[in-house]
């Protein structure tokens, strides 16, 4: 009986983690995100997923990274606008991810 409770708690924690990392982070980024330019520096190797590009941006003296799909028409060396959470810059998304949704982001400034 104890093992089934441990498994149940594990599944519950995994579900909370997934919800936090997708839905909640998206809401935080839309409302409180900070925009900056990121630079495409490499391509991921195709494996279980379609190939993507890796991007890098700087906050303070630290480097942070993310992935962006090829559907955005970018190439290595290009820059793109991303939005990140100032409290956790490793939580970031390309601005194009929020297309059609209101987001306080303008990387042209």
Residue 14 has pLDDT above 90, yes or no: no
Domains: count for the chain: 1
pTM of the model: 0.77
Per-residue confidence (pLDDT) for residue 15, from 0 to 100: 82
Per-residue confidence (pLDDT) for residue 85, from 0 to 100: 92
Greatest mean pLDDT among 15-19, 43-47, 72-76, 89-93 lies in 89-93
Q: Is the residue at 67 inside a domain?
A: yes
101 CB burial (10 A radius; 0-12, 13-18, 19+): exposed
| Rounded CA separation 65/57 (Å) | 6
Of 23, 87, 97, residue with least CA distance to 66: 97
Q: How far is CA 50 from the centre of its chain?
A: 16
Confidence of residue 47 (pLDDT cuts 50, 70, 90): low
Q: Is the residue at 65 inside a domain?
A: yes
Contacts of 80 (CB under 8 A, 6+ apart): 37, 38, 40, 55, 68, 72, 74, 94, 95, 96
Q: Is the residue at 103 inside a domain?
A: no
Among 47-51, 78-82, 87-91, the range scoring the smallest mean pLDDT is 47-51
Q: Between residues 23 and 65, which one has the greater pLDDT?
A: 65
């Amino acid at each position: 009986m104890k093992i089934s409770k441990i498994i149940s708690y594990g599944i519950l924690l995994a579900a909370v983690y997934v919800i936090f990392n997708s839905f909640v982070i998206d809401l935080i980024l839309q409302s409180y995100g900070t925009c900056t330019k990121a630079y495409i520096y490499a391509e991921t190797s195709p494996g279980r997923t379609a190939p993507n590009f890796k991007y890098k941006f700087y906050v303070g003296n630290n480097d942070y990274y993310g992935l962006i799909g090829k559907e955005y028409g970018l190439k290595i060396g290009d820059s793109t606008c991303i939005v990140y959470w100032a409290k956790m810059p490793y939580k970031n998304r390309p601005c194009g991810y929020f297309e059609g949704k209101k987001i306080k982001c303008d990387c042209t400034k």
